Amino acid sequence: MTDVAIVGGGLAGGLIALALYRKHPELHIAVIESGGALGGNHRWSWFESDLSAEGHDLLSTLKQDEWNKGYDVIFPRHRRTLSAGYRSMQSSDFHEGITQALPKDALLLGRSAQQLDAGGVTLSDGERIEARTVIDCRPFASSTHLNGGWQVFMGRHIRLDRPHGMDRPIIMDGAVDQHAPHGNGGAFRFVYTLPLGTHDVFVEDTYYADTPQLDQSVLSARIDGYCRQMGWDAGTTIGSESGLLPVITGGDFTAHQAETSIAGVVAAGARGGFVHPLTSYTLPTAVQNALIIADSAELSGPELAAKFEVRAREHWRSMGYYRALGRTLFNAARPHERYRIFQRFYGLREPLVERFYAGRSTIFDKVRILVGRPPVAFGKALAALLGKGAPLVQGKPDERS
C-alpha cells in the first residue's frame, strides 16, 4: 500500500514529494502526473526574502538562477533599483532535481487520475492505487464562486548573437506602450526580463487583463519589438512558454471549497487556494505547505485534509487586503492607466515591497500603501472596493502550482 499518493506533479506536488522523502525516506510515495515531465513548461521566480531558512534548504538541491545585485523596475516617471536578491527556476531543472532525489518507482508520469478519494486514486486506465494519504495538487479550478481578472503572459528564452549587457533582472518594465492590445482589448502591460547568461535572456510579455484571451501572435510580436528596443536584433529562441493565471479579487471561498474539495483528500497548491491573489505567486506558499506536510506525516489522510482545509480558509482571510487592491486595479483604473498603481507602489520603502510580495504586509504597510495621493479617483476606488468583479470562469488557467 502506498503511504502518500500525490496527484499532480507541478510545483506544489513535486515539492511536497521532495520534502516528505527528505524527512521520511521510509515512506512509499507516488506522484501521479498526466504529463511527461514534472512541472510542465514553466519558470517560477521568487525573492530571496520570500523563504525561511528551511525553505531555502528544501530548494537547495534544485538548480536555480540567482541574482544578488538587486533588480530594476521601470515606469514612465521613474526607474529604480531595489537590492533584494532574486531567484528563478526552470521546470526542466525542477523535473531533473526531483527525479534525481526520489526513488524511480515514486514517479508515475504520463498517468492520469480519474477519481480521487480518501482511500486512494483510480487512474484513467482503471488501475487502483490504494493510499493512506491522498493529496490533490491538480491545477486551479475555475469557479463561479471566485471573482477577478487574469495575468496573460508569453515568455521566450533567447540566445543572442552578442552579449546583452545586463547584470540584474528587470522585474517590471511598465514604461512600454499601455495602449497596445494583447488580443482582447486594453490591459496593464509590463515586460519582465531575466539575464540567464552572457548571451541568454528570458523576456516575458505580461498583461493584467479583464478576460483570459491569449493571442500568441500579438504577444510574440510584442516580444520582438521589445528586443529591438533593447538592441537585441539577432538571436535564437531556445524555449518559450505562455499561459493564463487567475488574479483573485473576491468571492465566496467556502462555496468554492465545497465545490472543489473531496472528503478526506488534502487540497494543496492553487486548487486548494494557496496563491497570492494579486501577484499569482505560488512558490513561497508551496514551499511552506511542503514543509508543513512533511512535519505532519504522522497524521492520517483525513486528519491532514481537515488541517489543510482550515489552513486554506486562514490563508484566504489573510489575503483579503491583496484581493481588495486587486479590485481597485481591475475596477477603478482604466486599463491603459493601471500602470500608475504599480508606479506609485514601487516608490515606497523597499522592506514594504518585500513583505508585500511575500504576503506578509504589516498593518502599517497596508495603511502606507493607501495613504497619500491616490493613483485612481477616490470615488472609483471606493466603488471598486465595495464591488464584486467578474467570475473566474473563462479560459483554462496555466498551472504554476
- Exposure class string for 120-146: b at 16+ Cβ within 10 A, else e: bbebeeeeebebbbbbbbbbbbbbebb
The mean predicted confidence, pLDDT, of the chain is 90
Task: Report the candidate in 48, 12, 14, 13 with the shortest Cα–Cα distance to residue 357.
Answer: 48
Using CB atoms within 10 A of its CB, is residue 399 exposed (0-12), middle (13-18) or buried (19+)?
buried
Using the predicted structure, report yes or no on whether residue 128 has a pLDDT greater than 90: yes
pLDDT value of residue 143 = 82
Strongest mean pLDDT among 11-20, 183-192, 225-234, 390-399 = 11-20
Using the predicted structure, report yes or no on whether residue 396 has a pLDDT greater than 80: no
Q: What is the mean pLDDT of residues 134-161?
A: 92
Enumerate the H helices of 153-199 as residue ranges.
Answer: none
Q: What domains sit in the chain, N to C, each tagged with a CATH number?
A: 2-67+86-144+249-318 (3.50.50.60)
Using the predicted structure, report yes or no on whether residue 286 has a pLDDT greater than 90: yes
Place 63 in a pLDDT band, splitting at 50, 70 and 90: very high
Residue the block writes with cell 512535519: 295
- Whole-prediction pTM value? 0.91
Using the predicted structure, report yes or no on whether residue 182 has a pLDDT greater than 70: no
Q: What is the mean pLDDT of residues 132-149?
A: 91
> Which CB contacts under 8 angstroms, 24+ apart, belong to 186-191?
186/334, 186/335, 186/336, 187/152, 187/335, 187/338, 188/329, 188/333, 188/335, 188/336, 188/338, 188/339, 188/341, 188/342, 189/222, 189/339, 190/339, 190/342, 191/222, 191/223, 191/226
Using the predicted structure, report yes or no on whether residue 141 has a pLDDT greater than 90: no
pLDDT value of residue 64 = 96
**In 10 A of CB 107, how many CB atoms?**
22
pLDDT value of residue 140 = 86
Q: What is the mean pLDDT of residues 220-230?
A: 93
pLDDT value of residue 89 = 97
Lowest model confidence (mean pLDDT) among 107-116, 155-164, 189-198, 206-215: 206-215
- For 313, phi and psi rounded to 5 degrees? -70, -35
7 strand-pairing partners: 32, 136
Strand ranges in 9-99 using DSSP code E only, listed in sequence order = 29-33, 43-47, 65-67, 71-74, 79-82, 86-90
Which amino acid makes up residue 151? Q
Q: What is the mean pLDDT of residues 21-40?
A: 96
Enumerate the H helices of 214-362 as residue ranges.
Answer: 216-229, 253-260, 283-295, 301-318, 320-332, 339-345, 350-357
Using the predicted structure, report yes or no on whether residue 289 has a pLDDT greater than 80: yes
d(CA 314, CA 310): 6
pLDDT value of residue 387 = 56
Q: What is the mean pLDDT of residues 110-124?
A: 96
Using the predicted structure, report yes or no on whether residue 65 has a pLDDT greater than 80: yes
pLDDT value of residue 183 = 61
Q: What is the mean pLDDT of residues 342-353?
A: 94
Using the predicted structure, report yes or no on whether residue 382 has a pLDDT greater than 50: no
Using the predicted structure, report yes or no on whether residue 353 has a pLDDT greater than 50: yes
Write the CB contacts of 356 (distance below 8 Å, at least 6 apart in sequence): 345, 365, 369
The C-alpha cell at 199 is 548571451
Which amino acid makes up residue 152? V
Using the predicted structure, report yes or no on whether residue 202 has a pLDDT greater than 60: yes
